[in-house]
Each structure stands twice: as C-alpha cells, then as structure tokens.
A = this chain, B = another copy of it.
C-alpha cells in the first residue's frame, strides 16, 4: 500500500501538485486496502500530501477502518467537522498551494466548496494509476474468471425452453453466491432478438425452441472482477446463425493473433489496432460493426484502462488485463458476442477465461 501511495505521489511533480484528494471508492480501496465504502454515497475522502496521508470518514466506519488501515492517519468527519474544514486546516498546516482532484468523481457541489479555499485545484489524471496489475492482482482476476467459467458450465445445464431470461440471470448469480462470490455487474441474459441489444435488461420473456441466448456476466471475488460473454443456441443453429457466430469468433481470433505476434516481435500495440482488425473482419463478411469497443481493461472495476477501441490512446503492455469482445447485432433478429479476458505477462498474452467458445447447441 505504501508503494501505491508513493506511485501516486510520483504523479505530483509533473503538475507541481502539493497534494491529492482521492474520492472514488475504487481508488480509495486501491490505496488503503479498505473495501467497505459504498459507491452510491460519499463516505470517505483520502487526502495525500508529499509526506502524509489522511483518510476521512464518518463515525459509522471509524472503528472498523482504524482496525484495518494502518499506514494512513484516520480522521473523523461529521457535521461539526466537515471535510472542507478539515482540508482547510491541513492546507494551512502544510502550506499547500495546489492540489489535484479526481474531476470525474468529485461532485460539482464539492468542487464549488473546495474552490472557496485559498488554493489552486487541478484535475489529476489517474486513468493509468491501476492499469498495470501486479501478479497478485492478476491472480485475483484469474480466480474470478475461474468461477465465471464454472458458472457458464453450470448454466448451460439449466437452459431449457420455458425458462425466463431473469431465471437464467439469477441462476448465474446463485452459482456465484454459492462460491461466496458476487456478480461484478447485473448479469445480462438475452433471448432471441433481445440478444441484438448489447445491454439488454433481462426480463420475463420465456425461452422458445430454436433461438439463441447471449449471456454477459462477471464475477467479483476478493474485490477483483471478471467478465465474459457467451452466445449459445437452443436447438439447431441455422446456417445463417452459424455464419454470424463463426465470424465473431474469427474476429476475436484475429485480434488475439495480432496481439500475440506483436508481443513476440516487441512491437508497440495500440488499443486501436486490434479493434480495427476485428471490426474489419466483421465488415468484410458483410455484417454491421459493433457499437462498442473491442475491449476494456478490468480489475477492481469492471471497466478500466486500457481501452481497445477506435479512439483509444492506450498502449497495451505488461501487467494489463483486458477483454476482447467483438459482436454482431442484427436488430430485431439476433446478436452474438464472444468475450474473454486476457493479461499481458512477460510479453505474452495469457488467457484468463477458459470456458469453451466453440458453438454450443443445447
């Protein structure tokens, strides 16, 4: 944890910052190791100067945090001692002139309140703070992936005409809960033409024979996420369905092969290049291109750096973990997405999800 704080402090120099105010729950967890704060509410602030670090939280968390976070000074905030007052005192004590904020997390109200203090506030670019994972972090993601693989194996035994999308989605969640793990996001289960909607909310539609099922789900275990998508067919897949499926699978393979070859040749790999390769293959086969990026980084959050997409500025290097998930969506007909997670370790692309991606007819 101390190394992580130091890594953050190294970013101060470039912007001549005296301190940073960290507000996002994932970054607070990454820097303190405490995972108990709610995403929906503002329950803590982490304030890091060049020499010290303070975690501010309310009375509900105080004793628990004191027991588990040892390398940071814990301070209470309450209605008599709000965060602005605490920061004002530290700013005066340490003679701080310029602080960095997470401008995509700090709220407008908090920003306005901070603006009343005698200091300069600047956005701190933390997009790459967590982008290179340690072997321990990659192992945690791999553990989540392994539970996801088993959840998939389990759920295909449960898929029968008459079942609803919601029942299948909850079936995935139940499997994870039985492993004392959680879903990393609301499991997407889409039957037939619903599979053409990339972020479909599972409903009470019943499964009909001879249709497809798109499942996109992830596991959260030990605070790290997995993510995978599979599309399976109930009854016999038609030749047209097979063409769609094989095109998506081949697009994924082409992107994987590109990255593998570039790594072996020590070439720089932009996040845009594999996306372009997968997209081109799908278009060449006469299908519409997917309305999302080819992939995203993953870790403490389900969507992180790097990005594999047309406008991506990412460069894919060692320690990064990301999805490769091309898709074809034929509105009012059907959709196919195949998503796997990969890590780059020692200049090799390592597959973390291992469930079969061959066309499955159940």
Contact = CB atoms under 8 A, between A and B. Distances in A.
Interface stretch (A35-43, A232-240, A257-265): A35-43
Contacts of A110: 108
A327 to B, nearest CB: 10
Nearest to A106: B108
B109 A63 contact: no
A105 B107 contact: yes
Interface in A320-344: 331
A40 B301 contact: yes
Interface string A100-116: 01011111111110000
Contacts of A199: 36, 60-61, 64
B197 A64 contact: yes
B108 A63 contact: no
A127 interface: no
B40 A302 contact: yes
A292 B60 contact: yes
B174 A41 contact: no
A63 B333 CA distance: 13
A79 interface: yes
A303 interface: yes
Interface stretch (A130-138, A165-173, A248-256, A276-284): A165-173
A178 interface: yes
A109 to B, nearest CB: 4
Number of identical monomers bound together in the oligomeric complex = 2
B200 A64 contact: yes
Contacts of A196: 63
B185 A174 contact: no
B64 A311 contact: no
Nearest to A43: B199
B109 A107 contact: no
B170 A180 contact: yes
A301 to B, nearest CB: 7
A291 interface: yes
Nearest to A164: B180
Contact of A59 (B59, B201, B291, B301): B291
A360 interface: no
Contacts of A101: 108
Nearest to A182: B173
Contact of A108 (B36, B108, B180, B197): B108
A60 B291 contact: yes
A297 interface: no
A242 interface: no
Contacts of A108: 101, 103-104, 106-108, 110-111, 123
Contacts of A182: 173
Nearest to A25: B40
Contacts of A107: 103-108
A292 B59 contact: yes
A361 to B, nearest CB: 27
A292 B62 CA distance: 12
A302 to B, nearest CB: 7
A331 to B, nearest CB: 6
Contact of A167 (B41, B62, B167, B180): B180
- The residue in A166, A167, A173, A292 that gathers the most chain B C-beta atoms within 10 A of its C-beta is A173
Can you list the 5 inter-chain pairs with the closest CB atoms, starting with the nearest?
A: A59-B291, A108-B111, A103-B109, A103-B108, A36-B201
